């Protein structure tokens, strides 16, 4: 049974810092991995999707990596801004039907 | 392009009542998913439609939950009768059908409170 874990559960950093959010999964047989952002009371916004054949994806100040053999993904945020404050969710696509298995999320606070 | 929409945004009902949630996916998206997040837990998969057919309903908690997608467009999720433990946020997501699995786009969710 696939399990997804995100560490840390919460993180507070000063503005301008580069930071890394971690996601680990127990079964390396995945189809893809998706990172989302959720603002309080809002829905999920897709940030990056990494297919199982890829090693990383980049979008602006965000870079996500995938290491299937070790069951890990990281989301790197460069030059953090207060507007980056949100909960970041990692989700693994473990079946060919597209079903996503989510971690609990990391709540990020970037202080001005 | 309109995103995934869900209705209602909030619903407060009493135990034993019936509630129907609606999801309108992005136009042209064949895949439609339902997920939910109960208090303190991670978001969990409920079921997956491809057009009007149920592809995977392994996450449906019990037979009090009924999902439909008539005509392969919008979907409804009915809870009848609702129980206290059904409280949570119900998310709908959609994606295009393709060889590689595509990004899932989520709606804002329906916040359900069963009293």
Q: Per-residue pLDDT for A98 more than 90?
A: no
pLDDT at B1: 63
Q: What pLDDT, in 10s, does the model give residues A31-71? A: 999 999 999 888 899 999 999 999 999 999 999 999 999 99
Closest-CA residue to B110 (of B30, B1, B5): B5
Give the model's pLDDT for residue B70. 85
Distance between CA atoms of residues B35 and B85, nearest Å:
15
Q: Is A41 left (phi over 0), alpha (psi -120 to 50) or beta?
A: left
Of the candidates B23, B34, B8, B32, which has an alpha carbon nearest to the alpha carbon of residue B111?
B8
Which chain A residues have any C-beta within 8 angstroms of a chain B C-beta? 4, 31-32, 34, 36, 42-46, 49, 51, 89, 91, 93, 95-105
Count the alpha carbons within 13 Å of A18 in the hemisphere toward its beta carbon: 6
Contacts of A49 in chain B (CB under 8 A): 102-103
How many CB atoms within 10 Å of residue B31? 21
Q: What is the pLDDT of residue A42?
A: 87
Percent of chain A whose pLDDT exceeds 70: 100
CB contact under 8 A, A99 and B59: yes
The DSSP code sequence of B65-83 is EEEE-GGGS-EEEEESS--
pLDDT digits (tens, 9 = 90+) for A23-38: 999 998 899 999 999 9
| pLDDT for B98 | 65
Q: Which of A43, A93, A103 sits opposite B91 (nearest CB)?
A: A43
User: How many residues does this entry show for chain A?
Assistant: 112
- Supply the mean pLDDT for chain A: 94
Distance CA B33, CA B56 (A): 9
Share of chain A above pLDDT 90, in %: 85
Residue A8 CB burial class (10 angstroms; 0-12, 13-18, ≥19): exposed
In order along its 115 residues, chain B shows pLDDT tens digits of: 679 999 999 999 999 999 999 999 999 899 999 999 998 899 999 999 999 999 999 999 999 999 999 888 999 999 999 999 999 999 999 998 765 567 899 999 999 999 9
């Amino acid at each position: 049974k696939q399990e997804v874990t995100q560490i840390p559960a919460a993180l507070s950093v000063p503005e301008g810092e580069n930071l890394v959010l971690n996601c680990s999964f127990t079964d390396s047989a995945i189809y893809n991995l998706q990172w989302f952002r959720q603002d309080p009371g809002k829905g999920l916004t897709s940030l990056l999707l990494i297919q199982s054949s890829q090693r990383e994806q980049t979008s602006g100040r965000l870079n996500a990596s995938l290491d299937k053999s070790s069951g890990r993904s990281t989301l790197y945020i460069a030059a953090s801004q207060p507007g980056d404050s949100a909960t970041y969710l990692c989700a693994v696509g473990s079946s060919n039907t597209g079903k996503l298995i989510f971690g609990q999320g990391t709540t990020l606070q970037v202080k001005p | 392009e309109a995103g995934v929409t869900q209705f209602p945004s909030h619903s407060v009902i009493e135990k034993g009542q019936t509630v129907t949630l609606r999801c309108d996916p992005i136009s042209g998206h064949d895949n439609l998913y339902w997920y939910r997040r109960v208090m303190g837990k991670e978001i969990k998969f409920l079921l997956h439609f491809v057009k009007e057919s149920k592809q995977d309903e392994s996450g449906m908690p019990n037979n009090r939950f009924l999902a439909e997608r008539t005509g392969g467009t919008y979907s409804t999720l009915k809870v009848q009768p609702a129980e206290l433990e059904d409280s949570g946020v119900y998310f709908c997501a959609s994606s295009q059908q393709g060889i590689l699995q595509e990004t899932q786009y989520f709606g804002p969710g329906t916040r359900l409170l069963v009293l």
